[in-house]
Each structure stands twice: as structure tokens, then as C-alpha cells.
Amino acid sequence: MNQVSINTEGIIFDLDGTLIDSMSAWENIGSDFLRKHGIVPPDDLNETIKIMSFAESARYFIEVYGIAMTEEQVGDEINGMIRDNYARHIELKPFVREVLNRYFNQGIKMGILTATHKSLTELILERFGLLDHFDFILTSGMTGLPKSQPEIYHRAVSQLNIPAQQITIFEDALYCIRAARATGCQLVGVYDEASKNDWDEIQKLSDLSIMSFKELL
């Protein structure tokens, strides 16, 4: 396994699939939600909603499937369905804690940019004693922007008050890496099983790529 050295003053981390091993928990949440409301989900539902923000997927369920709820109610119900996983079951990816502790002790400013609700993000980071490592948490719900849009990455970069050239972004999803490319930050592609079919393209678009956080130690 290669050792990867990152020279940076600030880091923006994705959460799900990057720092935590949670993509399997989300894999069928949309289908489970529709079934809960008596609707048989289509086979391609995951592909349809995977690049949507929470608000966009809630709007999609309401408009396409006639769910008689507000966007906020849909979001709250889905968060409630998955909350127990964040509170008890989902784990950090191997060596993430050690890497985050090292960067924190080196005084590197760090933030989280995620499509996951802020309450769930805080819940799992607090569970592992890592919440205080981060200068900010920015979510799609807070900005109204999906992570397929470069604008949300520009907003995250501005939170660090560091030139983009001195910031590194860690992502596991191809569509996120494409969007983050516009910032001018260094990009690190992180391997995740959920994105394995895109791994070759992720490696091409990233400045660095890692199979495991162990490579950063």
C-alpha cells in the first residue's frame, strides 16, 4: 500500500462513504420510505435519487408519488428511520480516527460538507469524540444545494478563510468530485464499495486517491 503525503492548511471532508461506512444504510432508504407509505418502488429508484439533496428527494417523492406530506415532514421521517443506525451501528472507516487526530493535532482546519442532515452528522461525530475536530459542518439542507452543484463546494471553501489552493477536499462519489473540481482545491478520491464501478474515473479526476486512510499515516 502506498504512503500518501498531503501538504495542506485546510481540509473539507465528505461524511458518508468517506469518513464513515454508511452507504449500505442509505442504499434502500428511499424504497423503504415508499413501502412504508404503501407504494411499490421502481427498481432504479436509488440511481434516480442518489445525487439529489434531501429537499430534492423529498420533493420528488411528493410530486412523483403523491406523498401527502411537506418536504420537511418527508425529511424528518427519513431521518427518523435512519437515526438509530447513526446512533448505534454505523462505524468509522478504518484509520479515520487516527488520521483526524493527527490533522487536528497539527492545527489543520477541517470542515464537513455533507448531504446528510446536520443533526445526524453531529450525532455520529459526537459518538466517536470527533465533533470538536471540525471548524464547521455545512449540509445540503442548510444551503438548499445538492452536492452535484459546484456552488456548495465554493461555500464550504469560503468557511475556512484559506486560499483554495491550500485546501484539500476528500470525496468518495464521482458526481461530487466533478462538482468539487471547480473550486481549484486539491482533490482526494476515497474508495468506497458503493462507488466501486466509478473508481477508475474517480482516480483520473482526483489529484490523489486512497483505498484506505491507512495510506495517510
Q: 130 Cβ partners below 8 Å, 6+ apart?
A: 97, 100
Q: Which domain holds residue 134?
A: 10-22+91-216
Residue 66, in any domain of the structure: yes
**pTM of the predicted model as reported, rounded to 2 decimal places:** 0.90
pLDDT exceeding 90 applies to what percent of the chain? 89
Average pLDDT over the chain, rounded to whole? 94
Spatial separation of the C-alpha atoms in residues 152 and 134, rounded to whole Å: 18
Q: Supply the pLDDT for residue 215.
A: 96
Spatial separation of the C-alpha atoms in residues 100 and 80, rounded to whole Å: 28
Q: Supply the pLDDT for residue 201.
A: 98
Spatial separation of the C-alpha atoms in residues 134 and 214, rounded to whole Å: 20
Are residue 71 and residue 118 in the same domain, yes or no?
A: no
Are residue 173 and residue 200 in the same domain, yes or no?
A: yes
Q: Supply the pLDDT for residue 2.
A: 56
Residue 2, in any domain of the structure: no
Residue 4, in any domain of the structure: no
Average pLDDT over residues 183-198: 96
Are residue 53 and residue 128 in the same domain, yes or no?
A: no
Q: Is the pLDDT of residue 157 over 60?
A: yes
Among 89, 121, 136, identify where a domain stops: 89
Are residue 34 and residue 109 in the same domain, yes or no?
A: no
Confidence of residue 47 (pLDDT cuts 50, 70, 90): confident
Are residue 180 and residue 100 in the same domain, yes or no?
A: yes
Are residue 82 and residue 102 in the same domain, yes or no?
A: no
Least confident range from 13-17, 26-30, 177-181: namely 26-30
Are residue 48 and residue 140 in the same domain, yes or no?
A: no
Q: 167 Cβ partners below 8 Å, 6+ apart?
A: 8, 9, 10, 11, 12, 157, 160, 183, 185, 186
Q: Supply the pLDDT for residue 98.
A: 98
Are residue 35 and residue 115 in the same domain, yes or no?
A: no
Domain count, the chain: 2
Q: Supply the pLDDT for residue 44.
A: 93
Are residue 14 and residue 107 in the same domain, yes or no?
A: yes
**What CATH number has the domain bearing residue 164?**
3.40.50.1000
Are residue 199 and residue 137 in the same domain, yes or no?
A: yes
Confidence of residue 3 (pLDDT cuts 50, 70, 90): low
Q: Is the pLDDT of residue 139 over 60?
A: yes
pLDDT of 56-110, one tens digit each?
Answer: 999 999 999 999 999 999 999 998 999 999 999 999 999 999 999 999 999 999 9
Spatial separation of the C-alpha atoms in residues 192 and 210, rounded to whole Å: 10
Residue 118, in any domain of the structure: yes
Average pLDDT over residues 187-193: 97
Confidence of residue 7 (pLDDT cuts 50, 70, 90): confident
Are residue 104 and residue 207 in the same domain, yes or no?
A: yes
Among 89, 108, 126, identify where a domain stops: 89
Q: Is the pLDDT of residue 1 over 60?
A: no
Q: Supply the pLDDT for residue 24.
A: 86
Q: Is the pLDDT of residue 167 over 80?
A: yes
Are residue 102 and residue 184 in the same domain, yes or no?
A: yes
